[in-house]
């Protein structure tokens, strides 16, 4: 069984996402929409859908919701999916078929046309298979921010399951055992929202696991932009605290359970990383602010 968490805080396309998952899963699933301090106008009536309700507070509780889903889940596999996503037919069985116990997988990512509920015309752009960390935010010490790595997508088009440096965080798939082993969705430091993709990918890589894109299946994620705005309520101060904590934790190689690599190993594994200078360690005083 696959247990799927869909975190939401006033998401416009929550029900469409739930229905899409129910329609396109071909194996046994259970779906946990997490209602972060609100109640939607309509609930989905299906034996596979189990709502998790969190009390209304000024803080964001996305991490709390994912942890509660894992606690309640009956599946061998767990997945988190944003509440504005379309998934490919059989996504669940494809990911499970290809999976290894210390992996985190993400499906190939497309762009969602939410009004038509279909994959958006790519206009010549490749799908999003890989992400790298943008240098400028690292240099400015304001956190980690991933960005689509188009050149790697084009160069490695024939590699169907392939390593990615980091993930967006809008979708990930792993075993429940790996989730619990790594202690994902840590609340301390990260608060309730922000840097989920970085925490999952960095922790997995640096404790001997592997983070991969599986191009045999896919999903489409909505780029909200000016049309829709940020649908999951955003607490700027809390998010900035999360970015600051994450930056310090990884750049200074703070204690990490089961660590086998430091952060510089990850950068070197994917070198050259777009826009990163050869003297990146010196420029940011890597590991010197402990």
pLDDT tens for each residue of 11-21: 999 999 999 99
Q: How far apart are CA 15 and CA 114, in angstroms?
A: 12
Q: Give the per-residue pLDDT at 21.
A: 98
Q: Give the per-residue pLDDT at 78.
A: 98
Identify whether 17 is part of a domain: yes
Count of structural domains within the chain: 1
Q: Give the per-residue pLDDT at 239.
A: 84
Identify whether 26 is part of a domain: yes
The average pLDDT across 215-236 equals 76
Share of the chain above pLDDT 90, in %: 87
Q: How far apart are CA 202 and CA 97, in angstroms?
A: 24
Identify whether 85 is part of a domain: yes
DSSP 121: P
Mean pLDDT of the chain: 94
Task: State the pLDDT confidence band at 157, using cuts at 50, 70 and 90.
Answer: very high
Alpha carbons within 13 angstroms on the beta-carbon side of residue 150 total 5
Pairing of the two strands 103-113 and 210-221: parallel
Q: How far apart are CA 134 and CA 10, in angstroms?
A: 30
Q: Which residues pair with 8 in a beta bridge?
A: 35
What is the domain extent for residue 74?
Answer: 2-284
Angle at 189 between CA 184 and CA 194, to 5 degrees: 65
Identify whether 289 is part of a domain: no
Using the predicted structure, report yes or no on whether residue 160 has a pLDDT greater than 70: yes
Q: Give the per-residue pLDDT at 206.
A: 98
Quick: pLDDT tens for 139-156.
Answer: 999 899 999 999 999 999
Identify whether 290 is part of a domain: no
Grouping H, G, I as helix, E, B as strand and the rest as coil, residue 113 is strand
Identify whether 271 is part of a domain: yes
CATH number for position 263: 3.90.550.10
Identify whether 210 is part of a domain: yes
What size, in residues, is the chain? 290
Share of the chain above pLDDT 70, in %: 96
> For the purposes of burial, counting CB atoms within 10 Å of the CB of 90, is it exposed (0-12), middle (13-18) or buried (19 or more)?
middle
Nearest Cα neighbor of 108 from 126, 82, 93 is: 126
Identify whether 134 is part of a domain: yes
Q: Give the per-residue pLDDT at 232.
A: 66
Between these two residues, 224 and 147, which has the higher pLDDT value?
147
Q: Give the per-residue pLDDT at 39.
A: 94
Task: State the pLDDT confidence band at 225, using cuts at 50, 70 and 90.
Answer: low
Quick: pLDDT tens for 73-85.
Answer: 999 999 999 999 9
Helix (H) or strand (E) segment spanning residue 29:
strand 29-36
Q: Which two tokens stand for residue 62?
A: 């996305």
Using the predicted structure, report yes or no on whether residue 47 has a pLDDT greater than 90: yes
Q: Give the per-residue pLDDT at 58.
A: 82
Q: Give the per-residue pLDDT at 233.
A: 62
The average pLDDT across 34-50 equals 96
């Amino acid at each position: 069984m696959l247990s799927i968490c869909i975190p939401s805080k006033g998401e416009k396309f929550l029900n469409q996402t739930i229905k899409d998952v129910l329609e396109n899963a071909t194996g046994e699933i259970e779906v946990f929409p997490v209602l972060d301090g609100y109640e939607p106008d309509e609930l989905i009536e299906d034996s596979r859908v189990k709502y998790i309700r969190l009390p209304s507070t000024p803080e964001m509780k996305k991490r709390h919701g994912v942890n509660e889903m894992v606690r309640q889940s009956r599946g061998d596999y767990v997945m988190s999916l944003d509440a504005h996503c379309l998934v490919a037919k059989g996504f669940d069985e494809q990911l499970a078929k290809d999976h290894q116990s210390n992996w985190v997988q993400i499906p190939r990512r497309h762009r969602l046309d939410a009004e038509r509920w279909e994959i958006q015309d790519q206009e010549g752009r490749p799908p999003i298979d890989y992400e790298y960390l943008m240098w400028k935010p690292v240099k400015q010490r304001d956190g980690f921010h991933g960005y689509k790595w188009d050149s790697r997508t084009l160069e490695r088009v024939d590699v169907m399951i392939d390593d990615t440096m980091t993930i967006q965080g809008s979708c990930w798939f792993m075993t429940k055992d790996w989730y619990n082993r790594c202690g994902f969705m840590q609340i301390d430091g990260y608060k309730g929202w922000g840097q989920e993709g970085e925490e999952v990918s960095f922790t997995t890589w640096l404790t001997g696991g592997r983070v991969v894109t599986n191009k045999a299946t896919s999903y489409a994620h909505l780029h909200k932009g000016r049309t829709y705005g940020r649908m999951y309520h955003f607490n700027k101060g809390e998010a900035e605290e999360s970015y600051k904590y994450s930056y310090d934790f990884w750049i200074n190689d703070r204690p990490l359970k089961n660590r086998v690599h430091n952060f510089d190993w990850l950068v070197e594994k994917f070198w050259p990383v777009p826009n990163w200078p050869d003297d990146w360690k010196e420029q940011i005083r890597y590991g010197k602010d402990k």
